[in-house]
Chain A
């Protein structure tokens, strides 16, 4: 009998047969930034712990009374563990979800894009609430693209978020210049600018003029195939091939044109290239 009593005592100590009997009840979900109340039953003193994203609290409470959790402690969305310890510890988990969207994180690529390229511009938007929690409930985000110099939208699309994200992809416009890219959600918006730049030079042509120092060679105004001027600073390579050797000059475009003074004393063939695009050749003082 004595042995049986010992056994039962040990088992009951583990199973809390004779400890303080109490319980805690937590709300099912809470919206970020709201206060919360955790109900307890039982009586006596206990210690309350709250562990969650951005918070770790400990305070003395009385069982049977409600425990108030301040809004500042529930700003971050995620899982919160509330623990009440008296003689034993009891726990309960509740979740905080995001509030209504208050900002958009908007990623747009690229920052520079050649004109008239298919599927060249893409954007990804994430809605966040005022406390920087990702809003996972589906919401509709409007994407708009407007080219410089026009008021008409060159692209407009409403996309519903899935797993907290919405995205789009579209072609670049025909004209070089700033492309305004916007994302809007219920009065919340974000704007980005994509610089549309000329594509590779097209119809690269040079003409030359004899000077006392040799040959002054210049290109025609350099455009891409859609007529957009190739930006200043783009390197154009002039090559002069003579009987006794070759001369090259890497010259940046200035005011739409590249110029070079080449010291070709005798017959020479002068050619031009920019990147991987070749232009015409001109022959100086040689038979065609």
Chain B
């Protein structure tokens, strides 16, 4: 080490560029900020027997987006509170069982950076139920305590039934299927 007036100066051995590249490949940079974005697009052009009303399409889109935001939050913090307004019937029953089971096992899940492409396939003649096919893409993380045991971007197909409630649309049924 050379000493200059004012104190010692350290010299560093340069790390090779190849080493940096390998480290980045082996241990990819992961941001800890959870991306809670939920994007939803709805295609109602193929729907029948009833045509979707002008105000119904944005309402369904908005409430479906809210439902998935609530679902993601519920599965991450293992709390039932956020799903109550957005889910009803069988979907609420299954989600409740999922969260209860997660509470017991110590697992939780994160659904990040979600994109949902919805196709409306059925709208009942009286407008009291709508069936959607959702091609959903999201980053799925499964955590055991604080340890990530699964982290993958997945594409899942969902069959969805939504019904009108007092102030919007709620998800009554949600089932993943291998294909439509």
Asked if A and B touch directly (CB within 8 angstroms), the answer is: yes
B19–A83 CB distance below 8 A = no
Asked if A133 CB lies within 8 Å of chain B CBs, one says yes
Interface residues of A, CB < 8 Å — how many? 45
Instruction: Provide the main secondary structure of the chain B interface.
Output: mixed
B59 contacts the other chain (CB 8 A): no
B131 and A54 form a contact (CB under 8 A):
no
Q: Which of A84-124 contact B (CB under 8 A)?
A: 85, 89, 91, 95, 97, 107, 109-110, 122, 124
**B interface bracket (residues with beta carbon within 8 Å of A):** 35 or more
CA distance A54 to B149 in the complex (A): 19
Q: Are B26 and A13 in contact (CB under 8 A)?
A: yes
Q: Decide if A14 is an interface residue (CB 8 Å cutoff).
A: yes
Interface flags for B140-170 (1: CB within 8 Å of A; 0: not) read 1010100001101000100101000000000
State A109–B126 Cα separation when bound (angstroms). Answer: 7
Q: Flag whether B77 is at the interface (Cβ < 8 A).
A: no
Task: Say what secondary structure dominates the interface of chain A.
Answer: strand
Q: A169 near B: Cβ within 8 Å? A: yes
Contact call B101/A57, Cβ cutoff below 8 A:
yes
**B106: nearest chain-A partner, CB-CB:** A58
Q: Is B177 an interface residue when CB atoms closer than 8 A count as contact?
A: yes
Q: A165 touches which one: B131, B142, B150 (CB < 8 A)?
A: B131
Check: B56 CB closer than 8 A to any chain A CB.
no
Residues of A within 8 A of B177 (CB): 78, 95, 97, 136
CA distance A134 to B140 in the complex (A): 25
Given contacts A53-B97, A78-B175, A165-B131, 11 further A-B contacts (CB under 8 A): A3-B19, A11-B25, A14-B26, A49-B144, A55-B97, A76-B97, A91-B152, A110-B126, A122-B126, A124-B128, A126-B161
Q: Which residues of A contact B (CB under 8 A)?
A: 3, 6-7, 10-11, 13-14, 29, 47, 49, 51-58, 76-79, 81, 83, 85, 89, 91, 95, 97, 107, 109-110, 122, 124, 126, 132-134, 136, 162-165, 167, 169
